Structure 1
Amino acid sequence: MKPNALRLALLLAAATTLAPLASAQKLAATPPMGWNSWNYFAGRVTDKDIRDTADLLVSTGMRDAGYVYVNIDDTWEGKRDAQGHITTNEKFPDMKALADYVHSKGLKLGIYSSPGDQTCARFEGSLGHEYQDAQTYADWGIDYLKYDLCGFRKKMLADAPNDPVKQNKMMRDAYMLMHKAIVKTGRPMVYSLCQYGFDAVWDWAPEVGANLWRTTGDINATFDRMTVIGLNQDGLEKFAGPGHWNDPDMLEVGNGKLTLDENRFHMTLWAMLASPLLAGNDLTKMTPEVASILMNKQVLAIDQDPAGHQGKRIYQEGPVQIWSRELADGSTALAVFNTGEDASSMRNIALPLKQLGFSKPPMATDVWTNKPVGRLDASYKPTIPRHASILLKLTK
């Protein structure tokens, strides 16, 4: 091959590899925000639930705070018709009409499927119908696809027993196939990979067009599970950025028996992680306290910071962890977490300011209250109760 021809071939190959990433950066420049049906409704979700949620996202102010995606999880699927087109079941009589309703509220609609022949809940998957399903979603007006590995793992194990290399190739190919199908429709859709962090998904997900990818197993509404998932994200920060985000799963703020401190801990940690923020609570019963956590403007600004730098752990001793995150305006977000179990224990923390690059005491603002703390020096040692946190914004 002549030198010029070789150079052209290499450029074309590079462009093909980078195309999904460039497209993703335009679609999800900051972590997607919205609401997903699974955490509260699970398999009970209906058309009415989604319409009611859309109304509540508007009336509560959540839409204006940035929660714009209304995502239907598993169990909406019906059977395929004679031509192989996916249909909805009796819970969702007209998906196009539902999408139109959601769009009329200034919101976007998300949907769920699997690269397998069945979904997690054993409804119809997309295997063998990827291009057909993507076009159907586009025709309906879908804006977001959560694509869950569940049903495809059975095929991977059957077709490539005891061959993890082949299994992983099958998985990557399946996700790339649906990405190509979405692109062919011409309709922009946020592409969410739900495959629980298998095969170091953060290494290759952008190459298959993903905007976000699950890094863990499922979350639940307990402090232990939330902290195990969130605090284990350290080390993944280099893989996150505009258009491509690590996803430690949906928010459980307002669910279960999480206390006020635990809900704030959860929201603080997800904001530090530049995580997608997909609420999963019952909006009909949302308390003012939960609303104030989900819609705190200063906390959301950190999550949505345009630089897209995911936070990282800089200190850990016993139940105490300190995380930092560089922000676009040159300031630093600093979060201190106390995971201690002793209800009477209080932790006095000395902040590692020099490690953060502050040769002189920085000015600090309490992010949750948006009130100035003043200039921090070595004498500043915040007292943090069990299962609580603080979130500061530091400026030189």
Structure 2
Amino acid sequence: MKKSLIICASLLVAVSAGAQKNRKFAPPVMGWSSWNTLALNINEKNICANADAQVSTGLRDAGYVYCNIDDGYMGGRDAQGNMTSNDELFPRGMKYVSEYIRKKGLKPGIYNDAAGNTCGSGNFKTPKFGQGVGFNGHEAADCDLYFNKWDYDFVKVDYCGAAGLGLQEEPTYTAIGNAIKAESKKLGRKISYNICRWAYPGVWCKDVADSWRISGDIQANWPSFKYVIGKNKYLSAYCGDGHYNDMDMLEIGQGLPLNEEEVHMAIWCIQSSPLLVGCDMTKIPAQSLELMKNKELIDINQDPLGLQAYIVYQKNNSMIYVKDIKKLNGNTRAVALLNLGDDPITIDVPLEIIDMSGKAVTRDLIHHTAGPVLNGKITETIPARSVKMWTVTGKRIERTVYNAGTAYMPNFNDLGGDKQTIRYSDDENASCGVKVMFLGGTPQNVMKWTNVYSEKGGTYDITVRYACGENRYLKIVVNGGQPVIYKDLNTGSFKKYGTLTVRATLKKGNNTVTLGCDNGYAPDIDGITLAKR
């Protein structure tokens, strides 16, 4: 029997490796996490029962291969500073559980805090169970324990204890990341590292971790879904090359209406968020299970380009998300039409908004049917709290609009420490409902689009839309060339927009357009549009 289990698991690994061989990087992780359904009530029995269900429900075969143990397994540190597990909850130890998970053809994952106490320490369990157990000062030893001796493949690292100690995010998480990379190299296998700082921490995290949380903990209700979706609206520029914005666990299977669960699944998929089931897998409602196993949605999430969709239309409670799939600048794109409101909304926009023209055909990825044929425009009514998720195939045209919410800003973070840090800001007067504020002040505090695509290269007019209630100046740089500086820009109000146009030569392929202001703040920026001469 043991030999059969090993063979079965080996075959699964071989198939998985074959499916991934053409990838340049890993897709978002898929699996299950214990926290949202079990919280601190975890033990060997219910973790193993969920691993069993992960297989019997077909979730493993649908791609959900990680089985992650969250907070609550610790027994504290011993006199020598070594991490221990709780012998009452896990009588055969954490290595037994990881072996049990692996025999199911799954990958085991684990949890800790960056420093000090875990988020659940001192609650209704023995007060000291999660106190003083964080990574800080124990990075190498803990990595050897988790990934070598206990044999886990994933770790989520929280920040409750580290925040209480006043530590800085970047050096603290980087030290942990360096130890994980060293252990991964020693063991010769991938270890996935998730930063859980509850907000986008800054561009440094892409060099350190595989994924990072961008919001507070999700809850199984519609307002929470809207909150998390809002936190990830303008972060597409920070996802890529196997590194992902984490929108937290899937709350599908927790009693929500099907239309809200469809929004949850569709937006997490088109945003390339990790997909970690958050419910009790031993009792998932049939329609929720079917949705989570939807292969067409999962394929969008696991697409080899690894891109996060960006917003091209935003009005009231409606949005259009779009991203390339399979091939950059190809003829098929993934599109989501989202209504976050409590009333039906009709979207009526030209097809050019998704960089296509003429006639296009769609496929409904939620219902596995042919969608509408689009003749030059998108006209769809979206019911309340609902989404339509398509692939759209048609004639691709060059992108001409790069709104502020798609720009990359090297100084941006969402930690909220400085109210005048460069940031994205919702603005109903902006062309896509978003602008960038607090641009400039230093040469490094810029915004840029690194994917300004030209099929053949040539001369373009680049028009900047901006708002400013006082005299400010703006520096524009294309592909690192000579700066063009506009002085004394003033539209009379930060809610009133004007434009300026600069002519530039773009090379074939991707170009970089950078906006900034070396001294003092630049105007608020709505975005740029391109017109080929």
Could you state the TM-score of these two structures normalised by the residue count of structure 2? 0.64
Once residues 24 and 31 of structure 2 are traced to their aligned partners in structure 1, the CA distance between those partners, rounded to angstroms, is 15
Matched residue, 2:204 = 204
Residue 27 of structure 1 and its aligned partner are, at CA, apart by 9.9
Of 372, 387, 390, the match for 1:389: 387
* Cα deviation digits, residues 138-187 of structure 1 (max 9, x gap): 21110101111111112226xxxxxxxxx345434444454355346525
Residue 44 of structure 1 and its aligned partner are, at CA, apart by 0.3
* Cα deviation digits, residues 326-383 of structure 1 (max 9, x gap): 1114311111111112xxx322222441121212121111111221124212576323
Amino acid at match of 1:129: H
Q: How does 1:1-396 map to 2 (within 5 A)?
A: 29-89=26-86, 90-93=88-91, 94-122=93-121, 123=130, 124-137=133-146, 138-156=148-166, 167-180=168-181, 182-183=183-184, 185-186=186-187, 187-197=189-199, 199-200=201-202, 203-208=203-208, 210-255=209-254, 257-329=255-327, 330=330, 331-341=332-342, 345-377=343-375, 381-396=379-394
Once residues 347 and 83 of structure 2 are traced to their aligned partners in structure 1, the CA distance between those partners, rounded to angstroms, is 56
Once residues 302 and 47 of structure 1 are traced to their aligned partners in structure 2, the CA distance between those partners, rounded to angstroms, is 34
Residue 236 of structure 1 and its aligned partner are, at CA, apart by 1.2
* Cα deviation digits, residues 237-273 of structure 1 (max 9, x gap): 1211232111111111122x42110000010110110
Q: Which has the higher contact order (CA 8 A, sep 6+)?
A: 1
Once residues 340 and 79 of structure 1 are traced to their aligned partners in structure 2, the CA distance between those partners, rounded to angstroms, is 46
Residue 75 of structure 1 and its aligned partner are, at CA, apart by 0.7
Q: 1:184 to 1:370 in 2, by over 3 A?
A: closer
Q: Which deviates more from structure 2 when the two are superposed, residues 101-110 or residues 72-81?
A: 72-81
Once residues 65 and 107 of structure 1 are traced to their aligned partners in structure 2, the CA distance between those partners, rounded to angstroms, is 12
Once residues 73 and 246 of structure 1 are traced to their aligned partners in structure 2, the CA distance between those partners, rounded to angstroms, is 19
Amino acid at match of 2:260: E
Once residues 325 and 194 of structure 1 are traced to their aligned partners in structure 2, the CA distance between those partners, rounded to angstroms, is 26
> Which of the two has greater strand per residue?
2
3-state SS in 1 of match to 2:307: coil
Residue 394 of structure 1 and its aligned partner are, at CA, apart by 0.3
Quick check: 1:334–1:392 contact (8 Å CA) kept in 2? yes
Quick check: 1:135–1:185 contact (8 Å CA) kept in 2? no
Name stretches of at least 5 consecutive residues in structure 2 with no aligned partner.
1-21, 122-129, 395-533
* Cα deviation digits, residues 189-221 of structure 1 (max 9, x gap): 111111122542xx011222x110111111111
Amino acid at match of 1:309: L
* Cα deviation digits, residues 288-307 of structure 1 (max 9, x gap): 11011100010000011110
Residue 37 of structure 1 and its aligned partner are, at CA, apart by 0.3
Name stretches of at least 5 consecutive residues in structure 1 with no aligned partner.
1-24, 158-166
Identity %: 37
Residue 29 of structure 1 and its aligned partner are, at CA, apart by 1.1
3-state SS in 2 of match to 1:44: coil
Residue 125 of structure 1 and its aligned partner are, at CA, apart by 2.1
Q: 1:114 to 1:251 in 2, by over 3 A?
A: same
3-state SS in 1 of match to 2:155: strand
Q: 1:175 to 1:132 in 2, by over 3 A?
A: closer
Q: 1:141 to 1:27 in 2, by over 3 A?
A: farther
* Cα deviation digits, residues 81-127 of structure 1 (max 9, x gap): 34432111021221111111110110010000112122111202223
Amino acid at match of 1:223: W
Q: 1:127 to 1:335 in 2, by over 3 A?
A: same
Quick check: 1:195–1:213 contact (8 Å CA) kept in 2? yes
Q: 1:98 to 1:168 in 2, by over 3 A?
A: closer
Q: Aligned-pair RMSD on alpha carbons?
A: 2.0
Amino acid at match of 1:96: K
Amino acid at match of 1:131: A
Residue 26 of structure 1 and its aligned partner are, at CA, apart by 8.2
Amino acid at match of 2:204: W
> Which of the two has greater helix per residue?
1
Once residues 60 and 27 of structure 1 are traced to their aligned partners in structure 2, the CA distance between those partners, rounded to angstroms, is 30
Once residues 213 and 84 of structure 1 are traced to their aligned partners in structure 2, the CA distance between those partners, rounded to angstroms, is 28
Structure of greater Rg: 2
Amino acid at match of 1:315: Y
3-state SS in 2 of match to 1:109: strand
Once residues 151 and 177 of structure 2 are traced to their aligned partners in structure 1, the CA distance between those partners, rounded to angstroms, is 21
Q: 1:121 to 1:185 in 2, by over 3 A?
A: farther
Could you state the TM-score of these two structures normalised by the residue count of structure 1? 0.85
Once residues 256 and 136 of structure 2 are traced to their aligned partners in structure 1, the CA distance between those partners, rounded to angstroms, is 38
Q: 1:148 to 1:223 in 2, by over 3 A?
A: same
Residue 38 of structure 1 and its aligned partner are, at CA, apart by 0.4
Matched residue, 2:17 = none
Q: State the aligned residue count.
A: 356
Q: 1:141 to 1:168 in 2, by over 3 A?
A: closer
Once residues 231 and 282 of structure 2 are traced to their aligned partners in structure 1, the CA distance between those partners, rounded to angstroms, is 32
Amino acid at match of 2:119: C
